[in-house]
Amino acid sequence: MARKIKGEKLDGWLILDKPQGLTSTDCVTRAKRFFNAQKAGHAGTLDPMATGILAIAFGEATKTVPYAMDAEKIYRFEASWGAATDTDDAEGKVIATSDVRPVPAAVLAALPAFLGWTQQIPPAYSAVKVDGERAYDLAREGEVVELKSRPAFIRRLEVVETPSPDRTVFEMTCGKGVYVRAFVRDIAKILGTCAHVSVLRRLRVGGFGEAGAISLEALGEMAYSDAAKLHVHPVETALDDIPALAIGEADTARIRSGQAVPVRGTAFATAEAMMEGAGDEPPVLLLKSQSGRPVAMAELKLGSFHPLRVFNL
């Protein structure tokens, strides 16, 4: 006998304004409980000290999490000059100090070195795996964690304000896997001092921003109600930047059963344009039914649509 899944079926995205002091997992657990949902996950971890946009996926939306995580993110954060910590943020222990306070002009002059594709070494206290273990677990056990540099893409870097010689507020638009804490650590080195992140807020994840967000406190007040469900966005909300095509009923049935279907009719022109703009990897698109319901994420290759993730909606 099949094991009964606990909770109610709920599919879609919740845009949570994460409070300070909770882990991303804590927030997902609470949101899942408030909706009595069967399945939930999130698109991109926020540190406990960080606040802001945490996109939580329920049910079939969890199949779109990889695409949401690949989206650009916007952060606003404060660097506190003159003290480095073992975690590179305000929650860590001070491991180095400096009397040097960079002048605003020097900070601005250092920014271009971080724009575009660069190499970044993640903080020792990060979720990067080392021989199957999380780096932060090893660091907490007192082990010396040496992580390799990884490609990082930062599209925009701005100084928002300089409240005092000890503090500078930045805003950053970046790609997946960029660590704000690592940026602050590295720019401090360039400027001949040390620093840590004292305030961190995520303003946006792809198409998910502050305008559509709800606080955990407000969500708790309407828990288990229809009012709470009004804050759950459709599954395809995370896929706004991915091309979509409608397919016929027969092809919808084949895709749902995991079969590839040939490109037909009016889809040819769209398929050709996608192939021309594609690199080495097959282009990915969202297939919809004639009624506009999401059917699957699919790869376009060899003149056919090949299902990657099929939605049971």
Distance of CA 259 to CAs 99, 204, 310, Å?
65, 36, 10
Distances (CA, A) of 288 to 19, 60, 133, 221, 313: 36, 15, 40, 35, 11
- From the list 47, 88, 89, 186, the catalytic residue is 47
Residue 240 designated active-site: no
Half-sphere exposure of residue 260, counting CA atoms within 13 Å on the CB side?
Answer: 10
Cα separation values, 46 from 70, 154, 171, 202, 203, Å: 15, 18, 16, 8, 12
Tell me the CA distances in angstroms from 67 to 88, 126, 272, one per residue in order. Answer: 28, 21, 23
For residues 185 and 243, give the distance between their C-alpha atoms in angstroms, rounded to a whole number: 38
Report CA dihedral (294, 295, 296, 302) to the nearest 10 degrees. Answer: -120
Which ranges of the chain does DSSP label H, i.e. alpha helix? 24-35, 65-69, 104-110, 135-140, 180-190, 216-221, 226-229, 249-256, 267-277
- Alpha-carbon dihedral angle through residues 154, 205, 275, 261, given to the nearest 10 degrees: 150
Residue labelled with tokens 């996109």: 55
Residues in the chain: 313
Contact present, 99 and 82 (Cβ < 8 Å): yes
Name, in order, each residue with C-beta under 8 angstroms of 62's C-beta and a sequence gap of 6 or more: 39, 40, 41
Q: What is the DSSP string of 269-300?
A: HHHHHHHHH--SSPPEEEEE-TTS-EEEEEEE
Q: Which residues are catalytic?
A: 47
